[in-house]
Structure 1
C-alpha cells in the first residue's frame, strides 16, 4: 500500500494520534415515552444507540433515525446476555446502560394478586439487576461506564394504591445505592433518575393493568375512583412533564464525569422528596384526609 492509499484513520494511528470512538449506550423500553425520547436524545448527541423493546417492530422509527435496535424482554436472562454480547462484539464497549423498561401495577395491595406483584418486581427490579450483571464485567475491565436506573417519585414516597409499583421502585433505589458503593473503585457510576408524573402512554398501560389484574374486594372503591380520575386526565394533567425532560436528565447524567447519585425530575419529584422528612404517622393522616375529601 502506498502513502496515497493510506486511510486518514491509519495515518493518525501511524502518527501516534489516538482515534476517538463514539460512546455506546443500551436503552431498554424504547418503544415509547421516556425510553423512546432517551434513545433519540442520545442519538442527537452522537452516541451509538442500541434501542431495545420486547417487540423490535415497536422501535422501527428509531431504527430509521439511525439507532441500532434489538428485541429485549428484560425478564429473559438469555436475551439480556445476547444483547450485551452483541454490543460488545460490534462495538467493543458499553459506556452506558439505561434501565428504563417498566410498568405500573396499581391497586390496593389486598386486591392485587401475588402473581401480579411478582411480575411487577420481575420487570422493574430484577430486569435492571440482570442488565447490571451482564454489563459490569465489561465496564470494570474498561474502568469506565454508567448505569442509569429509572425510578419514580414513588420510590421514596409510597401512596395508597401504588404499593406494588412503589415497592419495585424502592427496591431499584436501594439496589442502586448499594451498587454505587460496590463499583465506585472500578470507575463505574450508578445513577437513579426519578421523575414525577410523565405525560406518556405509561398511564394507559397502568390503567389496563389495573382493570385486568386487580381482584376488587369492594373495600377500596374510593382509591379506584382516584385512579380512574387520574387516568381520565391522562395522568396528572398540568403536573406532568414531557418525556424529553426526563431524557435530558438521563443523557446529562450519562455524560457527566461525576454525576449525582439521584436526579429528581420535574416539580412533583423535587417537592415530594421533602415528604421523607414528614413523620409517617403525619403522612398517614394526610392520606386519610385526602381519601375523605375526594371520595
Structure 2
C-alpha cells in the first residue's frame, strides 16, 4: 500500500521538487504551502494541494486533520518549509527573528507533534527535517537563520532517540548551495536590513558571495533524490548531505580549528 507523504514548502524549490518526484515514484503526496494557487501546477503530477501556514496553529491542525480524514494519517513528514532572513544581529528586529524561528523551527515541531500519534499507532514513520550546511556552519549576517538550522539539528538528534522505539525514523537532510532563489532573496533582505548601517561593507561583500554561490548551485532535484533515498533506506542514516559544496564544507568544518575555519570563510567575502 502506498505511503502517504506530507511535504511542506511545496510551492517552490526543494519542497516542490520533492513533492513532484515522490508523486511520480508512487507515493500519495500532499503538497502544502500558504498560497494554494501556487500548488495547482503540481496537480498534473498527482500531488494533492493543501493550504498550510506553519506560523498558524489553526492552519497546522486543519492540514493534519484533512490528511488524516482522507488518507488515514501521515506516514512520512517532510519539513521543507523555510525562510532565509538576513542582517547583522544588531540590526534585525526581534519580531523578524521570531518569525524566522516560527517558520524554520516551531512550525516543523508542531507538525511532528501532530503526526507522531498516528506513526506510533502504525509502528512506522519517517520524519525528514530540512536543515542546511548552515546548520553546521554559521556565516556572518545570518545569525537567526543559522540559529534556526542549528536548532533543527539538535531537535532532530534528541527526537531520533525518543521515537526510535516506536519504529519512527528521524532524518536530517543538509543541502549545500541549491537553486531555490533563497540566496538572491536573502541578499536583497540583507541589504534592506544592514546595507545602510555600520555593517554595510560586510553586507555588500556577503551579497556578492551569495550571488556567486547562486550561480554555482545545484538543481533542487538533487536534494529531492537525496530525500527519496533517505526515506527508502531500510536503515536510514541520521544525516544526508548533498548539493554544491555541501560535503567539502562540512568536512572542513569538522577538521579545521575554529580560528582557521573562520579565516578561510571570511577570505571569501572580500
Match of 1:220 among 161, 178, 199: 199
Give yes or no for the alignment of 1:84 onto 2:61.
no
Match of 2:261 among 270, 277, 283: 283
Give yes or no for the alignment of 1:269 onto 2:249.
no
Cα distance in structure 2, aligned partners of 1:282 and 1:46: 47
Aligned to 2:226: 249
TM-score computed with the length of structure 2 as normaliser: 0.94
8 Å Cα contact 2:141-2:190 kept in structure 1: no
8 Å Cα contact 2:178-2:244 kept in structure 1: no
8 Å Cα contact 1:156-1:276 kept in structure 2: no
Aligned-partner SS, 2:9: coil
Give yes or no for the alignment of 1:260 onto 2:240.
no
- Distance verdict in 2 for CA 1:288–1:266, change over 3 Å: closer
TM-score computed with the length of structure 1 as normaliser: 0.86
- Distance verdict in 2 for CA 1:157–1:144, change over 3 Å: same
Aligned-partner SS, 1:241: coil
- Distance verdict in 2 for CA 1:287–1:65, change over 3 Å: closer
Taking the TM superposition and a 5 Å limit, the aligned residue runs for 1:74-113 are 74-113=54-93
8 Å Cα contact 2:11-2:39 kept in structure 1: yes
Cα distance in structure 2, aligned partners of 1:157 and 1:47: 33
8 Å Cα contact 1:73-1:79 kept in structure 2: yes
Q: Please, which runs of 5 or more residues in structure 1 have no aligned partner?
A: 1-20
Cα distance in structure 2, aligned partners of 1:96 and 1:126: 18
Name the count of aligned residue pairs: 269
8 Å Cα contact 1:34-1:247 kept in structure 2: yes
Match of 1:179 among 120, 140, 159: 159
| Displacement after TM superposition at 1:113 (Å) | 1.7
Give yes or no for the alignment of 1:26 onto 2:26.
no
Q: Please, which runs of 5 or more residues in structure 2 have no aligned partner?
A: none
Aligned-partner SS, 1:236: helix
Cα distance in structure 2, aligned partners of 1:98 and 1:35: 8
| Displacement after TM superposition at 1:200 (Å) | 2.1
Please identify, of 173-182 and 279-288, the stretch whose mean Cα deviation from structure 2 is larger. 279-288
CA root-mean-square deviation: 1.7
| Displacement after TM superposition at 1:277 (Å) | 2.9
